[in-house]
Amino acid sequence: MTITVKLFATLRMYGEKEQKVASETSLTPSDIIDRLRLPGNEVAIVMINGCHALIDTALNDGDVLSLFPAVGGG
C-alpha cells in the first residue's frame, strides 16, 4: 500500500510538504506519525481524503493523509 502524506504549517519543518509512504501492512495515521518521526503532540487535525478522521483510522491504498498542527491566532 502507498499513502500520500501532506504536512501543513509548522509540521513542514519535520519533513517534506508532500511525501509517499509505502508499507506491506495496514497503517493508521498514528503509525505514519511515528514512522515520519513527527511530534505527535503537535498534530491536532487529521484528515483522510479531505475528511476529518481519528488518529487510529485504518488507511487504504492510495489514501491522502493530511496532518495539521493546532491553529493559533487571535
State what percent of residues in the chain have pLDDT above 70: 96
Residue 40's pLDDT is 87
Residue 34's pLDDT is 95
- Looking up cell 483522510 gives 48
Taking the whole predicted model, whether its pTM rises above 0.85 is answered as yes
Tell whether 27 is covered by a domain: yes
Domain around 43: 2-68
State what percent of residues in the chain have pLDDT above 90: 88
Domain of 46, CATH number, reads 3.10.20.30
Tell whether 45 is covered by a domain: yes
Tell whether 64 is covered by a domain: yes
Domain count, the chain: 1
For residue 15, pLDDT beyond 90: no
Average pLDDT on 27-49 reads: 95
Instruction: Give the chain's mean pLDDT.
Output: 93
Write the DSSP string, the chain: -EEEEEE-GGGGGGS-SEEEEE-SS---HHHHHHHTT--GGG--EEEETTEE--TTPPP-TT-EEEEE------
